[in-house]
């Protein structure tokens, strides 16, 4: 007929009662759980493959191929069950026959007919049939022990192109793995560093042991140690207060650094102290091996030394004495890498 071009008075039924044609020769009794088969005719409910639960018979009809029986499609009905407890409230049930329901483990073909809404006795339960009418094909998914209804079998549209995963399970794993393992960075501003004794760091002056800030030829401002001295340590205290930091995971100190040339390869000694009264817990000290190439160097603090927040972390950095004879050492950036934990509240 084609699409409407004007308003239409469309016929409507409330839907609580629906008249379906009873299969010729089948007797559907009032109160029976009724189903339609693949041919579309109404028959008594049974644990038979391919049936779709259609409601509870409102009247008794023996079919001749044309007679109709009205079925109720909403309501909570009392059905027989082989064995139930009050703990089964909320469980899905499936047809055993037109008078009896069973839990998923007790039926063969899992013709979904509703949810246990209330407990009457060990052999009778009140079944809300409406959920089954909302999802006529849900039986296959609810009771399929092969996992057809599992998250791993539910596809996702991903209209925003946020993931390459194609099912819910994969996407959830990706999200949670990201939450618990993705790098979380705590930046350390170079300007926060002082000398180890708390003296402010000022403009760099060549030829001395004291580090300072200078601007290099390409305009980058760096923290510099001279290449001809026993070096003075620098220090910084970093707030370690985020409750989302996983104290069961390691903390990694990162610095972005390079030498002025390719002559010296100093080891940068790291000291690390959490809170008050701690002993040095820094791991293996990195060696600046890439010469004038700007590179990332790390020192790991083992997970057993990382406290729960709130705390603080004091870092002390010193180029090893006697390992810089020619080249200046430039520090461009510093930061901590920590791991997030899943928040439970």
- How far is residue 65's CA from residue 296's CA, in Å, rounded to a whole number? 81
In this structure, the number of other CB atoms found within 10 A of the CB of residue 313 comes to 24
Q: Find the helix or strand (DSSP H, E) in which 143 lies.
A: helix 138-143
Q: Find the helix or strand (DSSP H, E) in which 141 lies.
A: helix 138-143
Per-residue pLDDT, 5:
85
- Per-domain residue ranges of the chain: 17-149, 152-181, 183-339
Per-residue pLDDT, 155:
64
Q: Is the pTM of this model over 0.85?
A: no
DSSP code string of 201-268: P-B--TTSSS-EEEE-TTS-EEEEE-TTSPPPPEEEEEEE--TTB-TTS-EEEEEEEEESSSS---BE
Q: Mind listing the pLDDT tens digit of every residue in the chain (345 residues)?
A: 688 888 888 888 777 899 999 999 999 999 999 999 999 999 999 999 989 999 999 999 999 989 999 999 999 999 999 999 999 999 999 999 999 999 988 899 989 999 999 999 999 999 999 999 886 554 444 545 444 455 555 666 766 777 777 777 777 777 776 666 556 899 999 999 999 999 999 999 998 889 999 999 999 999 999 998 789 999 999 999 998 888 999 999 999 999 999 999 999 999 999 999 999 999 999 999 999 999 999 999 999 999 999 999 999 999 999 999 999 999 999 999 998 876 554
The pLDDT tens digits for 168-204 are 777 777 777 666 655 689 999 999 999 999 999 999 9
The pLDDT tens digits for 72-100 are 999 999 999 999 999 999 999 999 999 99
Per-residue pLDDT, 183:
66
- How far is residue 163's CA from residue 72's CA, in Å, rounded to a whole number? 44
The pLDDT tens digits for 27-43 are 999 999 999 999 999 99
- How far is residue 327's CA from residue 271's CA, in Å, rounded to a whole number? 23
| Order of all β-strands in the sheet with 234-240 | 194-195, 234-240, 311-319, 268-274
Helix or strand or coil: residue 112?
strand
- How far is residue 159's CA from residue 153's CA, in Å, rounded to a whole number? 18
For residue 278, CA distances in Å to 239, 243, 305, 307, 313 come to 15, 20, 10, 11, 10
Strands 92-95 and 251-259: unpaired
Burial class (CB in 10 A: 0-12, 13-18, 19+), 243: exposed
Q: Find the helix or strand (DSSP H, E) in which 175 lies.
A: helix 168-181
Q: Please state the separation of Cα 142 from the chain's center in Å.
A: 23
- How far is residue 209's CA from residue 211's CA, in Å, rounded to a whole number? 6
- How far is residue 196's CA from residue 51's CA, in Å, rounded to a whole number? 80
Burial class (CB in 10 A: 0-12, 13-18, 19+), 11: exposed
- How far is residue 216's CA from residue 223's CA, in Å, rounded to a whole number? 10
Phi and psi angles of residue 19, each rounded to the nearest 5 degrees, phi first: -90, 120
For the domain made up of 183-339, the CATH class stated in words is: mainly beta
In this structure, the number of other CB atoms found within 10 A of the CB of residue 95 comes to 29
């Amino acid at each position: 007929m084609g699409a409407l071009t004007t308003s239409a008075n469309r016929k409507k039924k409330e839907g609580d009662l629906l008249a379906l044609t009873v299969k010729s020769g089948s007797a559907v009794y009032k109160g029976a759980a009724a189903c339609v088969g693949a041919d579309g005719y109404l028959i008594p409910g049974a644990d038979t493959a391919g049936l779709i639960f259609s409601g509870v018979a409102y009247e008794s009809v023996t079919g001749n191929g044309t007679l109709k029986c009205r079925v109720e499609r909403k309501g909570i009905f009392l059905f027989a069950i082989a064995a139930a407890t009050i703990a089964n409230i909320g469980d899905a049930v499936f047809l055993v026959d037109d008078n009896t329901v069973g839990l998923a483990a007790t039926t063969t073909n899992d013709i979904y007919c509703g949810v246990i809404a209330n407990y009457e006795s060990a052999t009778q339960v009140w079944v809300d049939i409406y959920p089954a009418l909302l999802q006529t094909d849900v039986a296959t998914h609810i009771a399929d022990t092969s996992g057809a209804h599992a998250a791993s079998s539910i596809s996702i549209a991903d209209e925003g192109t946020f993931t390459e995963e194609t099912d819910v399970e994969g996407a959830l794993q990706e999200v949670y793995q990201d939450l618990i393992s993705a790098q979380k960075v705590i930046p350390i501003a170079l300007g926060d560093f002082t000398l180890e004794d708390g003296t402010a760091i000022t403009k760099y002056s060549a030829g001395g042991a004291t580090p300072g800030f200078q601007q290099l030829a390409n305009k980058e401002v760096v923290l510099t140690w001279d290449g001809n001295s026993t070096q003075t340590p620098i220090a910084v205290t970093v707030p370690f207060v985020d409750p989302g930091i996983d104290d069961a995971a390691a903390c990694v100190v990162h610095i972005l650094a390079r030498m002025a040339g390719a002559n010296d390869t100093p080891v940068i000694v790291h000291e690390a102290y959490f809170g008050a009264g701690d002993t040095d817990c820094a791991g293996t000290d990195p060696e600046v091996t890439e010469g004038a190439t700007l590179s990332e160097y790390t020192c790991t603090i083992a997970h057993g030394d990382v406290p729960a927040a709130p705390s603080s972390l004091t870092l002390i950095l010193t180029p090893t004495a006697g390992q810089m004879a020619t080249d200046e050492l430039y520090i461009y950036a510093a930061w901590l890498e920590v791991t997030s934990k899943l928040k439970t509240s």
